[in-house]
Chains A and B, each alone.
Chain A
Amino acid sequence: DTAVSQTPKYLVTQMGNDKSIKCEQNLGHDTMYWYKQDSKKFLKIMFSYNNKELIINETVPNRFSPKSPDKAHLNLHINSLELGDSAVYFCASSQRTPNTDTQYFGPGTRLTVL
Chain B
Amino acid sequence: DVKVTQSSRYLVKRTGEKVFLECVQDMDHENMFWYRQDPGLGLRLIYFSYDVKMKEKGDIPEGYSVSREKKERFSLILESASTNQTSMYLCASRVTTGPEAFFGQGTRLTVV
Asked if A and B are interacting partners, one says: no
Q: Which residues of A contact B (CB under 8 A)?
A: none
